[in-house]
Structure 1
Amino acid sequence: MPSNELDELDRYVIYRLQKDIRGTSAATIANDYGVSPSTVRKRISRLEDEGIIRGSHLDIDYEQAGYQLFTIIFCTAPIPEREQLAQEALTVPGVVSVRELMTGEENIHVVAVGRDGDDLSRIGRDLAALGLEIVEEELVHNEYSCPLHWFDKQSD
Structure 2
Amino acid sequence: MAADGLDEIDYGILHLLQQNARSTTPVDMAEQLPVTDTTIRNRIDRLEEEGVIEGYVPIVNYEKAGFPIRLQFSCTAPTKKRHQVAGQALELPHVVKVDEMLSARENVQVLAVAKTTEEVNEITAGLDDLPLTIERESLLREERRRPFGHFGQHVVDD
Instruction: Bin the TM-score by the shorter chain.
Output: over 0.9
What RMSD in Å do the two structures reach over aligned CA positions?
1.8
Q: 1:101-125: CA deviations, max 9, x gaps?
A: 0024100000110002221111111
Q: Check whether the contact 2:9–2:152 (CA below 8 A) recurs between aligned residues.
A: no
Distance across 1 between alignment mates of 2:98 and 2:65: 21
Structure with greater helix share of residues? 1
Q: C-alpha offsets along residues 116-140 of structure 1, whole Å, 9 cap, x if unaligned?
A: 2221111111011121211111111
Conservation of the 8 A alpha-carbon contact between 2:12 and 2:151? yes
How far is 1:141 from its partner? Answer: 1.2
Answer yes or no: is the 8 Å Cα contact 1:3–1:50 preserved in 2.
Answer: no
Structure 2 regions of 5+ residues with no counterpart? none
Distance 1:148 1:69 in 2: 27
In structure 2, give the amino acid aligned to 1:66. Answer: G
User: 1:9 maps to what in 2?
Assistant: 9
Deviation at 1:3, TM superposition (A): 8.5
- Corresponding residue of 1:74: 74
Amino acid at match of 2:11: R
The structure whose RCO (Cα within 8 Å, separation 6+) is larger is: 2
**Unpaired segments of 5 or more residues in structure 1?**
none
1:132-147 matched pairs, under 5 angstroms: 132-147=132-147
> Does structure 1 residue 28 correspond to structure 2 residue 28?
yes
Query: Cα 1:15–1:2, aligned 2, differ >3 Å: closer, same or farther?
Result: closer
Q: Larger deviation: 93-102 or 140-149?
A: 140-149
Q: Which amino acid in structure 2 is aligned with residue 154 of structure 1? A: H
TM-score normalised according to structure 1 size: 0.94
Q: Structure 1 residues 33, 155: CA separation in 2 closer, same or farther (over 3 Å shift)?
A: closer
Instruction: Output the TM-score relative to the length of structure 2.
Output: 0.93
Name the counterpart of 2:149. 149
